Structure 1
Amino acid sequence: MYQPWGDLLKKWNKKGIGLVFDYTSESALALDGGNAGDAGYAHQIGAELDIDWERLIGWKGFRSHAVVVNRAGHNMATDFGDRSLNGFQEIYGGGGNVGVKLVYVYGTQDLLGGRVQIAFGKMSVNTDFSASPLYCTFMNKSICGNPKSLTRGDSGFGTYPGSTYGTRVRVWPLHGVYAQFGLYGTNPDLSSNAYDRSGWNFSTNRYTGMYIPVEVGLIPSFGPHNLVGHYKLGVAYDTANYADNLYDVDGGFLALTHRSARQDNGKTQLWIEGDQMLVRNGSGPLHGLYVMAGLVRNTPQSSPYLYQYYAGFVDRGPVPWRPKDTFGIIMTRATASPDLVATQRIDYALGKKLPANATYPQSHLTVLEVSYNIHACEGLSIQPDFQRIMRPNLQRNKASIDALGLKIHAVF
């Protein structure tokens, strides 16, 4: 980091002002899958401002957070007709090719000595719910940020870089035990041209309901080496109406009647997630070998996905002489809603165009990813990556894709 700039940041930090600029690029090259040699590049340039108002003006326990980004490039997955939750370059998701996108702006207020915290503002749901620092060890969009069947399964689960008005209350009744619940606006057109891809639209004219998540979690620590774990159970209900995957307004099959879809009131999601450090690699709070796994379930009547589940390992500091490197391997699978598949099968048999951008009845998608993040120097990491996508777009008639990736992250 440029020394005068670094010194200035340190002075601001002492006053409670944190400012970070960063650049992330993700490039991918297809090795096969019927389109060998295809490549894609995407990047994000971000700016984050965090203010501790207690340090700045004496407002005890209050902090504010704001992020803007520039995203541009090309999503290689679309070249293979894959518009599912899979994406070789997660950094492009959520509305690419936007000059300056407002991600979020919100505040948090600590109460009762930090045992209670209230957040309010324009926020992303995945900032707090179904969140893990291990997810973005990986480059594929299906897992980075959060398991993406939550976002694709319910538009109320607004995910970074999108946000809606909301509030979240978190309580720590015991050390290592928390409970939290939230209220967020449901905006089915978030990050689209119908609303505002840039994030600067502060109106609620496209909101259709309220997304209400609840999550409880445990953060235990075992043994003399402080082997930390993170375990969480979450459930959410969305009050908005959603189109049924199978039935029309009169209870007939959509694929046969071609009438308007029945509107189902409400949608429910469930997630069970956890990670556990097995071996500690150093004194850093998260440095060690982790095993991680999780399961997500969506309402099949009105969601494109029924289940997503994943399992993997993350090793931070895998070798003693590379304490800031990270190795990761993960497998994630998403299964299509059986109601949606039933409609697709009828359409396919009749020779008609299928819903959900499919050209064949969908089933499941499996992503295997292996990644190694190299800490090149202070503020710079270089991450080679390998991905194998089985049944792209959840279709068995599509060939598997092997791809090489490269992620570069610089912090200023």
Structure 2
Amino acid sequence: MRRSVLGLLAAASLLAAPAGAAEDDEADPSILDGVPAFAGLAAGRDALAEQGFRISGFYFSDPRGNLSGGLDKGWTYSGLFKIGVDVDAKTVFGIEGGRLHADMLQIHGRDVSEEHVGNLLSANDIGARPTTRLFELYWDQEVSDRLSVRLGQMAADEEFMTSAYGENFLDATFGWAGPPSENLPQGGPAYPLAALGAQATWKATENFTLVGAVYNGRAAPGRYDDDPERGNRHGLNFRLQDAPMVILEGRYRYNEGEDAAGLPGEIKFGGYGHFGRFGHLKRGTDGLVLGSPGSNDDPRRRRGNVNLFAIVDQQIWRLPGGEDEQGIGVFARVIAGSSDRNPISTYVDGGVVARGLVPGRPNDVIGVAYGWADFSPALADADRAAHAAAGLDLPARSSEAVLEATYRAQIVPGLTVQPTFQYVWRPSGGFAEAESEDEAPKRTRNAKVFGVATIVRF
């Protein structure tokens, strides 16, 4: 499934203020400012910014191990280096209200979920095929005080369906969740593959914003649906010929400002749809259940696919005498789609996050979150038919769930260390599909995953 670590990094510094979560990395602390030895680099960065070129980035280091269950025990190491530049169009080109953004990724290492756990709600935010790639490249333009547009290569997980609290966890599903990752072709336009598209943001009122986007529906040719990263290895495959994907999200923020009657929160709601053709999960073109004796195993085709979602972020307690973002917050999210064409037909997650509760550690974060993905009943029927035909004693896929507990400690501004523990119930619904026709599906047991991520921002 697609990962979404970039959103986590963008939200980290404003954890407990969901209504004010940053759109990009501008508010995040940099190690160049926190360590005197880097003063020269900070001065050079600031000089470039005065000329209209703002450079930022991070390195994410993630050793992760499966302690038990899953496919087998084992450890992996993943690393992600990102560097980006924002060009102020007024300073450089004389265009008022414009911004050119570009960033690249250098991905290396191995994915613990793919190699040792076998789960869909991936334990590793940054797991992806090792490569160096262009990620996003777009022009952002303010049309008026309330309307802005964006054109270029973009990633939907940078903008849509996110929770400011949920983004602080390291399991990928708390960012770009299980349903879009599994239900959309090639996982949708999300890390590590962005797609060409157009986006509009309209601030209807001071509290309500509407954001919509349309993307090319695939980041790689269709023949690479099982491995799109190989089909667009360096992020330079600028496709426009595929059926489009659209997404619309409304955002309502409340209790903002010093005179607010209560604690701040945000509600998001909307949906996404793909105009391509999707295979029926249960019935073939011959009318038989897929996998059953005599079935041609050619799924019926269905035009289009729509999923709906809703998200709530709410601060429930603020630390007396502390900063606004210090305290405890909760989040919840639900995503649902038709069971005949969506492998994950219902998804729910939620959690509790606290910041600044440890004495002397005002920026440390503690969190516990739970995510549950329900596999489509149609998919389960096809599983039962296929297992019976093959004489296999395996259950049908029912659901997968994950519980994550994490603690993020700020060592110095711009450097954090974050241990995480995840417990995974029924990885891939209880069994992993065979890698070839000569192999049988493999049972998977509940898994325990541990790791310690280190993030350096500059």
Contact 1:278 1:289 in 2 (8 A): yes
1:20-71 per-residue CA deviation (whole Å, 9 max, x = no partner) reads 1311011222222277752111110111111221233331111121111111
Q: Which residue is equivalent to 2:77?
A: 41
151-160 or 186-195: bigger deviation: 186-195
Contact 1:374 1:383 in 2 (8 A): yes
* C-alpha distance 285-128 of structure 1, shift in aligned 2 (>3 A): farther
What is the identity percentage for the equivalent residue pairs of Structure 1 and Structure 2? 22
Gaps of 5+ in 2: 1-31, 33-37, 432-442
Q: CA RMSD in A?
A: 2.3
Match of 1:262 among 275, 285, 300: 300
Once the two structures are TM-superposed, the CA of residue 223 in structure 1 deviates from its matched residue by 7.9
Mapping 1:60-71, distance limit 5 Å: 60-71=96-107
Q: Distance in 2 between matches of 1:35 and 1:340?
A: 22
1:150 aligns with 2:180: yes
Match of 1:391 among 395, 403, 426: 426
Contact 1:391 1:399 in 2 (8 A): yes
Count of paired positions: 400
1:26 aligns with 2:62: yes
Q: Distance in 1 between matches of 2:349 and 2:198?
A: 29
Contact 1:104 1:161 in 2 (8 A): no
Once the two structures are TM-superposed, the CA of residue 79 in structure 1 deviates from its matched residue by 3.4
Contact 1:212 1:236 in 2 (8 A): yes
Q: Which residue is equivalent to 2:130?
A: 97
1:354-397 per-residue CA deviation (whole Å, 9 max, x = no partner) reads 9xxxx642111110000000000122100011111111111175
Q: Distance in 2 between matches of 1:346 and 1:34?
A: 24
Instruction: Identify the structure with the greater helix proportion.
Output: 2
* C-alpha distance 288-162 of structure 1, shift in aligned 2 (>3 A): farther
Q: Distance in 2 between matches of 1:289 and 1:157?
A: 32
Q: Which residue is equivalent to 1:159?
A: 190
- Provide TM-score, normalisation by structure 2: 0.82
Whichever residue aligns with residue 105 of structure 1, its letter is L
Contact 2:339 2:378 in 1 (8 A): yes
Contact 1:310 1:331 in 2 (8 A): yes
Q: Which residue is equivalent to 2:199?
A: 168
Contact 2:166 2:350 in 1 (8 A): no
Q: Distance in 2 between matches of 1:390 and 1:83?
A: 9
* C-alpha distance 178-283 of structure 1, shift in aligned 2 (>3 A): farther
Q: Which residue is equivalent to 1:112?
A: 144
Query: Comparing both chains, which one has the higher relative contact order based on Cα–Cα distances under 8 Å and sequence gaps of 6 or more?
Result: 2
Q: Distance in 2 between matches of 1:245 and 1:141?
A: 25
Once the two structures are TM-superposed, the CA of residue 349 in structure 1 deviates from its matched residue by 1.2
Q: Which residue is equivalent to 1:362?
A: 397
64-73 or 283-292: bigger deviation: 283-292
1:217 aligns with 2:244: no
Contact 1:25 1:91 in 2 (8 A): no
Q: Which residue is equivalent to 2:457?
A: 411
Q: Distance in 2 between matches of 1:41 and 1:126?
A: 23
- Provide TM-score, normalisation by structure 1: 0.90
1:4-29 per-residue CA deviation (whole Å, 9 max, x = no partner) reads 11011112223332111311011222
Mapping 1:310-389, distance limit 5 Å: 310-351=349-390, 360-389=395-424
* C-alpha distance 35-148 of structure 1, shift in aligned 2 (>3 A): closer
Whichever residue aligns with residue 123 of structure 1, its letter is M
* C-alpha distance 200-173 of structure 1, shift in aligned 2 (>3 A): same
Once the two structures are TM-superposed, the CA of residue 105 in structure 1 deviates from its matched residue by 0.5
Whichever residue aligns with residue 400 of structure 1, its letter is N
Once the two structures are TM-superposed, the CA of residue 274 in structure 1 deviates from its matched residue by 1.1
* C-alpha distance 4-369 of structure 1, shift in aligned 2 (>3 A): same
Once the two structures are TM-superposed, the CA of residue 135 in structure 1 deviates from its matched residue by 3.0
- Secondary structure of 1:382's counterpart equals strand
Q: Distance in 2 between matches of 1:103 and 1:394?
A: 32
Gaps of 5+ in 1: none
Q: Which residue is equivalent to 2:20?
A: none
Q: Distance in 1 between matches of 2:342 and 2:391?
A: 21
Instruction: Identify the structure with the greater strand proportion.
Output: 1
- Secondary structure of 1:290's counterpart equals strand
Q: Distance in 2 between matches of 1:80 and 1:225?
A: 51
Contact 2:97 2:142 in 1 (8 A): yes
253-262 or 228-237: bigger deviation: 253-262
Once the two structures are TM-superposed, the CA of residue 411 in structure 1 deviates from its matched residue by 1.4
Whichever residue aligns with residue 244 of structure 2, its letter is M
- Secondary structure of 1:343's counterpart equals helix
